[in-house]
């Protein structure tokens, strides 16, 4: 399987994760509107709306991280790197992606242990209704895993681009 095929499949997977983000965001908005409306119009707020919103936040944040990296929209401080020659800029990109990959590999490992433990002990949020905590921790692990995979794909793409530009320089193109 070529890197282009893997890159295409990952892009589709990230698109599905982004869909989860949008659904969670719309659910939070609808819940807040329902809670506020119920509180002021009927005198009856939605039970455990704050806790539910807190449980939905990881569904908004973590699936979107891989998408942001894939689109090149992560925060980048390019004040120094934009003044560097192309080879040095490429080296900085390789270093940043390798460092990110290493960090998120560790985070991926521990996030899966964290979510599995939450599932095994049947962890619940203290609220007026019984709310399981493990789905939020699971989406955290899934989102961090997708980010880690995207770091790896981006690193391979950058290395390939660097190798191609080196070949072009050495062949005089």
pLDDT, tens digit, 9 for 90 and up, residues 21-70:
999 999 999 999 999 999 999 988 888 899 999 999 999 999 999 989 98
Residue 121 has a pLDDT of 95
With residue 125 as reference, give the H or E element that holds it: strand 124-125
Low-confidence stretches of the chain (pLDDT beneath 70): 1, 163-173
Token readout for 71 is 């689109």
Instruction: Supply the pTM of this predicted model.
Output: 0.84
The size of the chain, in residues, is 173
Look at the alpha carbons of 5, 173, 162, 93 in this order and tell me if their dihedral is positive or negative.
negative
Domain ranges across the chain: 3-171
Please name the residues in contact with 37: beta carbons below 8 A apart, sequence gap of 6 or more. none
Residue 12 has a pLDDT of 83
Residue 173 has a pLDDT of 44
Over the chain, what is the mean pLDDT? 88
């Amino acid at each position: 399987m070529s890197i282009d095929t893997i890159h295409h499949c990952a892009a589709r997977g990230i698109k599905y994760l982004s869909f989860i983000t949008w659904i969670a965001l719309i659910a939070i908005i609808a819940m807040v509107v329902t809670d506020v409306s119920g509180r002021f119009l009927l005198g009856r707020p939605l039970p455990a709306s704050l806790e539910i919103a807190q449980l939905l936040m990881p569904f908004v944040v973590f699936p979107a991280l891989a998408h942001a990296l894939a689109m090149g929209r992560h925060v980048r401080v390019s004040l120094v790197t934009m003044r560097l020659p192309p080879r040095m800029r490429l080296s900085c990109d390789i270093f940043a992606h390798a460092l990110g990959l290493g960090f998120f590999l560790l985070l991926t490992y521990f996030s899966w242990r964290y979510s599995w433990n939450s599932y095994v002990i049947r962890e619940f949020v203290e609220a007026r209704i019984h709310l399981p905590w493990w789905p939020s921790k699971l989406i955290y692990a899934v989102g961090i895993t997708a980010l880690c995979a995207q770091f790896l794909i981006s690193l391979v793409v950058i290395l390939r681009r660097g190798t191609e530009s080196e070949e072009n320089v050495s062949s005089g193109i």
